[in-house]
Amino acid sequence: YVGIATVGIFIIWYTRSSFLGIDLSGDGHSLVTYSQLSNWGQCSTWDNFTASPFMAGNQEIKFDNPCDYFQTGKIKAMTLSLSVLVAIEMFNSLNALSEDGSLLTMPPWVNPWLLLAMSISFGLHFLILYVPFLAQIFGIVPLSLNEWLLVLAVALPVIVIDEVLKFVGRCTSGIRYSSSKRYSKQKAE
């Protein structure tokens, strides 16, 4: 899911003005089709292609050549992908509290050190996003509230996916356990 989510949010930013009711048009970026995005190397051959400048925090991202939208302009999409990766890994750490137990039976606060580590990790990520010279060093840009909502919408399903996998694991291990118990009983007789 990590790969799908990080690539997916990149594609969503370029191709959608909203996603799951979250408005992504606030920065003024130009939308392209999936075909244009996947064939961006041919941009110079497209008739009448234009790319509008867009905002990234207080910074306006402009293009002398509209095709630069797929190189210089990808800074926002890359930041979204990185933020999804960070969020997914933090949510995966919650999933790792128990190998097969649900978060409903082993809630995150049972391990306050993990919550502290997650807070520090998110804090460092926010630091490099919102301190301009750090953002420049890392080649990322600040995200808006709606962009953070998109990051959460794309990253949170990792918890649901893992909960489903744990549930299936508990169900199948129960079947395996009862089958092996029956087999041992028959062998003993």
For residue 16, the model assigns a pLDDT of 97
Q: What is the pLDDT of residues 97-148, one digit of tens each?
A: 877 888 888 888 889 999 999 999 999 999 999 999 999 999 999 999 999 9
pLDDT in tens, 45-97: 999 999 999 999 888 999 889 999 999 899 999 999 999 999 999 999 988 88
Short-list 151, 134, 144, 132, CA closest to 5: 151
- Write the CATH number for 27: 1.20.1110.10
- Look at residue 179 in the predicted model and tell me its pLDDT: 46
Question: Domain total for the chain?
Answer: 1
- Residue 106's pLDDT is 81
Q: Show the domain range for 96.
A: 2-188
The first and second tokens of residue 108, run together, are 């995150």
The pLDDT, as a whole number, for residue 173 is 78
